Amino acid sequence: MWCCCFSSCVGSLADPDQAAPTLSEADAAQRVADVDVVTELLGRAPAGAFDVVVRDDAGIPVVIRNAPLLDNGRPMPTRYWLVGAAIRAEIGRIESAGGVKAAEEAVGLPAIAKAHAAYAVERDALIADDYEGPRPHDGVGGTRRGVKCLHAHYAWYLAGGADPVGQWVQDQLDAREAEQTKSQAQ
């Protein structure tokens, strides 16, 4: 089970001209712990500011929300990143069974295009209008058309995004769970 909790911001996703909010010792400790856990889950240190937006029942990060620019200024098109190991593996199994094509066919390209556009608007609104460096582009996970990665769509969906592909993934996960429950009962 996942819970959405918009907490544990690491780095600064806010306007750089505004003073950073003062953190309690507990919040500061949670940020350090989140960086350590996310580093372990990713197999590398995060390259930019993020906050944990979905945690599992044990409080472990499942989805992080990335700043649109990495610390080195490189664009980060993937706003929501699925970091939970177990759910990443389960979605990987769906992908390897033809899930990307199946999701595109089930959801349809017009609905996917609408989701990409909404995702890009949210991400790009965080970049100052006068920013002159490179910007992230396209939609979910930097995709121009269709589905590239079920993980990215599901991450945005878990974080509260109106992503029809993420909903499709949830439906597949629910069906798999129901099938497992049914076979265990027999």
In tens, the pLDDT along 118-140 reads 999 999 999 999 999 999 999 99
Counted residue by residue, the chain has a size of 186
The Cβ of residue 163 has, within 10 Å, a number of other Cβ atoms equal to 29
H or E segment and range at residue 39:
helix 25-42
CA-wise closest residue to 112 among 173, 148, 163, 167 = 163
In tens, the pLDDT along 84-118 reads 999 999 999 999 999 999 999 999 999 999 999 99
Q: Has residue 141 got a pLDDT over 80?
A: yes
CA-wise closest residue to 119 among 154, 168, 94 = 154
CB 138 within 8 A of CB 101: no
Distances (CA, A) of 153 to 116, 139, 149, 156, 169: 10, 10, 7, 5, 8
The predicted pLDDT at position 52 comes to 96
Torsion angle defined by CA atoms of residues 4, 46, 143 and 12, in that order, rounded to the nearest 10 degrees: 70
In tens, the pLDDT along 20-46 reads 556 688 778 888 889 999 999 999 999
pLDDT band at 12 (very low <50, low <70, confident <90, very high): very low
Burial of 65 from C-beta contacts in 10 A (0-12 / 13-18 / 19+): buried
- What are the extents of the domains in the chain? 2-169
Assigned token pair, 119: 């995702």
Dist. CA 51–CA 126, nearest whole Å: 14
The predicted pLDDT at position 20 comes to 54
